[in-house]
Amino acid sequence: MEGDLIITGGRPLNGTVRIPAAKNSVLPLLAASLLCSSPVRLRAVPELADVDTSLQLLQSAGCEAGWQGSDIVVQGVPGVCRLGADAAARMRASILFCAPLLARLGRAETVLPGGCRIGARPVDLHLSGLAQMGAVCRAEGERLILTAPSGLHGAEITLRFPSVGATETLLLAAAAAQGKTVLRGAAREPEIVDLAAFLNRCGACVQGAGSSTIRVEGRRSLSGCSFAPMADRIVASTFACACAAAGGRVELTGCAPEIYRPLLEILEQMGCGVKYGPESVVVSRFGRLHGAGKVFTGVYPALATDAAPLLAAAMLTADSESSIEDVVFERRFACTEGRTLCILPGTGLKGANTAAPDLRGGAALVIAALAAQGKSRVTNTALIDRGYAGFAPMLAKLGSEIRRETRPSDGTEKKRH
């Protein structure tokens, strides 16, 4: 949906939010559906721009992929090895769709993936792992061409960094390769566990997901299944930080606090109340917010890099100093050159006109605007729509004064079917 977000800040948040399914789980699951010879149904998927881009990628590969209510159904065998260039360039996760095409068709063509501009985001770990499994990778300008002349075979692979995307690419390749793969130095994020659970439900044999060594027995073919993707721990973190910044009391349901505990612990340390349930958490802030001192992001189970800008927005409202160092991406904070953002107590936030620099940076501006006195306008909201569905209505339901100022439609508004 086009349009700027108009926010009048200074109102506390109150109420309950049900956390939707995770973008970072849905995208690899949609890529995995290319490996399945019968239909895949993903249940209760949020309507995100990146999900739409993924549907376009699946369609460009020759599958039928679309909405059935709030579910997504993917069916049909991929017959085209070249991914739609516009969709592929729009989103870094488009690289995940290559390994399944390579496994099924022996060839995959894409353009070098885009995505949020938060630092150099190479795909060398994806490609060198695939090469160890028998793929030949070559770049022609912006195009990337992968072939597997004798098919993919299992391999012993060690990642030099636990990249989430590379772990997913290699899991997808290994699930359909011939023989056994051992992946060491794998990412341990919960979204990897979700992908492995999905693959196993489809008949794959993946063991050890969630630890740094994953073992996969390749299978010739996988069937489809119906699967509910896990909850979005970054959306949950967003609402927790919004409550910390604007004050009030918010219950976040449907998402285990365990998967974003570092963020919750920092908010507690800053003076928020945090009440843990097994699948929900209540965050409250009625008194002052204090600085957090020095905090760092890291790979799971440390504080998620995606939560850093959200937390920074809350830190802006604290009465003492905080700093966040992001060790995962070199340009996580659009407003600073280095990896560390230092936040000193100020005289209070005032409304302003701002433009979202990237997905999480955009959400951080919304959080800051909720806490600021007066009116703010956030433009460039298409970037926020990549990862948040119905963000403004969800915040409005909690008592925020936020609306979308829609621009005149060009008549091509997308519809569900």
Q: Which positions lie near ligand UD1, rule CB under 6 A?
A: 24, 27, 92-93, 119-126, 161, 163-166, 305-306, 328-329
Nearer to ligand UD1, 4 or 306 (CB): 306
CB of 164 to ligand UD1, least distance (A): 4
Catalytic entry in 81, 98, 116, 202:
116
Cβ-closest residue to ligand UD1? 165
CB of 26 to ligand UD1, least distance (A): 9
Read off φ and ψ for residue 141, nearest 5 degrees.
Answer: 60, -125
Strand partners, 322: 293, 343
CB of 96 to ligand UD1, least distance (A): 8
Q: Does the CA dihedral 26-133-110-225 come out positive or negative?
A: negative
CA gyration radius for the chain? 21
Round to whole Å and give the CA distance between 6 and 276: 33
Residues in CB range of 288: below 8 A, 6 or more apart: 271, 318, 319
**81 part of the active site:** no
Nearer to ligand UD1, 116 or 175 (CB): 116
Tokens of 228: 């509910």
CB of 307 to ligand UD1, least distance (A): 9
Residues in CB range of 140: below 8 A, 6 or more apart: none
The secondary structure of 193-235, three-state, reads HHHHHHHHHCCCEEECECECEEEEECCCCECCCEECCCECHHH
Side by side, the strands of the sheet bearing 280-285 are 13-18, 248-253, 280-285, 273-276
Give me the numbers of helices (H) and strands (E) for the chain, helices first please: 13, 22
Nearer to ligand UD1, 12 or 165 (CB): 165
CB of 161 to ligand UD1, least distance (A): 5
Nearer to ligand UD1, 27 or 199 (CB): 27
Nearer to ligand UD1, 114 or 293 (CB): 114
CB of 238 to ligand UD1, least distance (A): 13
* Residue 301 C-alpha from the chain's centroid: 16
Name the H helices within 281-403.
308-315, 359-371, 382-385, 391-397
Nearer to ligand UD1, 99 or 349 (CB): 99
Tokens of 384: 């926020």
Where in the sequence numbering do the catalytic residues fall?
Answer: 116
